[in-house]
Amino acid sequence: MEKKKILVTGVAGFMGSNLADRLLAAGHRVVGIDNLEYGRKEQVAEGVEFHKADIRSKEIYPLFEGVDAVFHLAAKNCLPDCQADPVATMDINVTGTANVFEAARRAKVPRTLYAESSAVEEGDDRLKGFYAISKLADGKIAEGYRAEFGLDIVGLRYFNLYGPRQDYRRKSPPVMSKLIITFLKGEQSLDRELGAERPVVFEGDEDNKRDFIYVDDVNDFHMLCLTDGRVKNKLFRLGSGRSTSVKEVYDTIVKLMGVQPNPIAKPRPPGDPVVATLADWSEAGKLGWKPKTSLEDGLRAQIEWMREEFKKGNIR
Ligand SMILES: NC(=O)c1ccc[n+]([C@@H]2O[C@H](COP(=O)([O-])OP(=O)(O)OC[C@H]3O[C@@H](n4cnc5c(N)ncnc54)[C@H](O)[C@@H]3O)[C@@H](O)[C@H]2O)c1
């Protein structure tokens, strides 16, 4: 395959760092941008030309020179943080995205791919959230740049990604990270005979379903986008095509970790309604892509990585 120069924003985050590894393994040159607000420098591979920079700054423009494709993944995406600070959310996710498109336009980058989110199609409640609003706005800005400047911009509407390096440090960690941390701590407590930390399960968890997709499966599609002309200016939904309940996630993690938890059942918290999401990934499927990692295999890899984090003392 022809070697390309690829720029990744949000390269120190969950998806960006995994994508950079994949691009380097394929022999591509990777330029990475991150302001390290949420990301971690130590998970950026050595081969990445890393720039600690903010996507809202004009200083990023020169970095786009000679780039063959941009993956724009940087965002403020911890939902409680977005709800707490709508202005910062719009500044980073909307102005920041416009600035990335502008940088790509000035440097005549042939293809720009940006991160959308299934939050924009999760029903009225979610749509009122500032994160979803910012992602909807990004779609409109993309339309504008296509129409006015002829930029090739591909929208990637991700459903719920999981896997190694998922950001477990945020105030409200994604469900899988949260459960794995509880069980890791519980295991440790048992070792010390302090009694296991007890996980919380909520009413309705068996109907609360998400389309969870493993990070490497999404990277398969990212790689395809580098060479396939058919993706031009399109929007793709990327999910596993399977809606999995939080209860099933819980049971699978329990099985894989071999723990015997004693969960505390609680009523559903307000602001966390029962929702079911399911990706129609047929557009991506037409290009020959399909998700291939089972929930068990994906969770096994995530548990293994989180065990290492725990051993290193990173999970407290
Ligand atoms: N992970 C998911 O399940 C999921 C689902 C749908 C959409 N997305 C979108 O995919 C993208 C990547 O998500 P992720 O899970 O890897 O998130 P992440 O938080 O792990 O990574 C985002 C990175 O962007 C960086 N960043 C934030 N603001 C910045 C700024 N102003 N300038 C430069 N860098 C900045 C952060 O430091 C972080 O490293 C985001 O746009 C997110 O909204 C993710």
* Residue 51 pLDDT exceeds 70: yes
Q: Which residue ranges have their beta carbon within 6 Å of ligand 1?
A: 10, 12-16, 33-39, 54-56, 73-77, 92, 96, 115, 117, 158, 160-161, 167
Angstrom distance (rounded) from CA 236 to CA 272: 26
Domains and their CATH numbers in the chain: 5-158 (3.40.50.720), 160-214+240-277+293-316 (3.90.25.10)
Q: Whose CA is nearest to atom 43 of ligand 1?
A: 77
Rg (CA), the chain: 20
Give the distance (Å) from ligand 1 centre to CA of residue 272. Answer: 21
With contact defined as beta carbons under 8 Å apart, do 180 and 253 qualify? yes
Chain segment 209-222, per-residue pLDDT in tens:
999 999 999 999 99
* Residue 192 pLDDT exceeds 50: no
Tell me the backbone φ, ψ of residue 102, rounded to 5 degrees.
-65, -45
149-153, 164-168, 273-277: least confident range: 273-277
Residue to probe by mutation, ligand 1, list 54, 61, 77, most atoms within 8 Å of CB: 77
Chain segment 237-246, per-residue pLDDT in tens:
999 999 999 9
Place of tokens 């990934």: 281
**Cβ–Cβ contacts within 10 Å for residue 233, how many?**
14
Residue 59's H or E segment, with its range, is: none
3-state SS, residue 265: strand
* Residue 45 pLDDT exceeds 70: yes
Q: List the 111-117 sheet strands across, edge first.
A: 49-52, 29-34, 5-9, 69-72, 111-117, 153-158, 235-238
**Cβ–Cβ contacts within 10 Å for residue 301, how many?**
17
Q: Whose CA is nearest to atom 18 of ligand 1?
A: 13
Give the distance (Å) from ligand 1 centre to CA of residue 63. Answer: 19
pTM of the prediction? 0.96
